[in-house]
Every structure is written in C-alpha cells, then in structure tokens.
Amino acid sequence: MKKSLIIAAGLAFLMLLTRGSHTLTPFSLPDASLILFLLGGILLKRWGWFAAFFVLGTVIDFGAAALDPAQGFCLTNGYWGLIPSYAAMWLGGLWLSKQRDAFAIAPFVGVSMAGTFVAFVVSTQTYYLFSGRFPNNGLLDTMQHGWNYLPNWMLVNAAYFAVAWLVAMAVRNIKPIQTAQQ
C-alpha cells in the first residue's frame, strides 16, 4: 500500500506539472496525461486509482479555467470523452502489467502508440460531436476535423513514452549498494 501511495504521488506530481495549460507552473511542458494513465495501469492497476487520477485531471482543468477563463474553451460536453480516452491507456497499462515484462520494448511501444491513437480518435471525435462549437452533422462529418493535430499528438506522447521507458530501464539496472562485511 505504501508503494502504491508513493507511485501515485509521483504520478500526481507529474500531472500537476504538465496539465492545466500551465497555469500551475511557470514553465510549459506538454500534457503528459496519456503516459501517466498508461503507467497507472501498469503500476497501480486498480480502477479506483484510475478514478482518482481522472478526478485530479478534472480538478486541474476546471481550476485552470477558473483562474484563466480562456483555458475553459475545451470544457464542454465533449470533455467527458476523456474518460474512455484515458481508460484506453489504463487498459493498455493493465495488459502490459500482466506480461512477463511490462517494459519489453515491442509490446510497450505497440500498446503506447495504439493507445495514443485510440485516445486521439475518441477525444477528438467526442469534442467535435458534443462540444456544441461545431455543426453536428454526424460522425463522418466530424472525422474531417482535428486530424491536423495527430502528428504533434503522436510525437509529444512518443517522447514521453520514450522517457518513461528509459527511466524504467535505468531503475531496473540500479543495483543496491552493498555494504562491506566486517
């Protein structure tokens, strides 16, 4: 339980650093939510943690909008499409956690990129369909919007996945310091 709390605190700290349109920090890092939900699935597993992280993200987003109303542009009915988007990442993490090595390169990259693509499609389409900011002519019409963001979305998240994988490899290779026997 203590280990889960330490992991959750670390992931929450990273969410605070990278979310909220940087109202909360003096520097600007891209949103790391997708990797944080994937890591949550791998390391924390329980759906209660998923709910806690979704609530944290929501509090950050609505808090940032309260401090700067311009940040509330995306806070529409389409916002709730983030639940299945993040759930896709959490499920990917759960699947990885059941493998012999959750950070084996091929499955980790495959799940990371597939989950990111699914999260993009779901979040983009729910925004365009349910935000009320665009004509709602159905799914086929909305599929024409937002795809210009996909390359940057994939690139930013791929960088975060690479960092997480490198950290996992570094942590795995740290050997405990042996004290000299007297």
Give me the tens of pLDDT residue by residue for the chain, a chain 182 residues long. Answer: 799 999 999 999 999 988 865 555 567 788 999 999 999 999 999 999 999 999 999 999 888 778 777 776 678 888 899 999 999 999 999 999 999 999 999 999 999 999 999 999 999 888 888 877 777 666 666 677 778 888 999 999 999 999 999 999 999 888 666 555 54
Task: With respect to residue 72, please indicate whether it lies within any of the assigned structural domains.
Answer: yes
According to the model, what pLDDT value does residue 23 have? 55
Task: With respect to residue 174, please indicate whether it lies within any of the assigned structural domains.
Answer: no
The rounded distance, in Å, linking the Cα atoms of 148 and 31 is 18
The rounded distance, in Å, linking the Cα atoms of 166 and 11 is 16
According to the model, what pLDDT value does residue 179 have? 57
Q: What total of structural domains would you count in the chain?
A: 1
Where do we find the tokens 């998240």? 157
Task: With respect to residue 158, please indicate whether it lies within any of the assigned structural domains.
Answer: yes
Region of residue 176 (phi > 0: left; psi between -120 and 50: alpha; otherwise: beta): beta
The rounded distance, in Å, linking the Cα atoms of 127 and 76 is 8
The rounded distance, in Å, linking the Cα atoms of 134 and 138 is 11
Task: With respect to residue 156, please indicate whether it lies within any of the assigned structural domains.
Answer: yes
C-beta neighbour count of 63 within 10 angstroms? 15
Task: With respect to residue 32, please indicate whether it lies within any of the assigned structural domains.
Answer: yes
**Token code pair at residue 8:** 């959750």
Task: With respect to residue 139, please indicate whether it lies within any of the assigned structural domains.
Answer: yes
C-beta neighbour count of 91 within 10 angstroms? 18
What's the angle, vertex CA 57, arms to CA 94 and CA 156, rounded to 5?
70
The whole domain housing 125 covers: 2-164
Task: With respect to residue 35, please indicate whether it lies within any of the assigned structural domains.
Answer: yes
Backbone angles phi, psi at 100, to 5 degrees: -60, -40
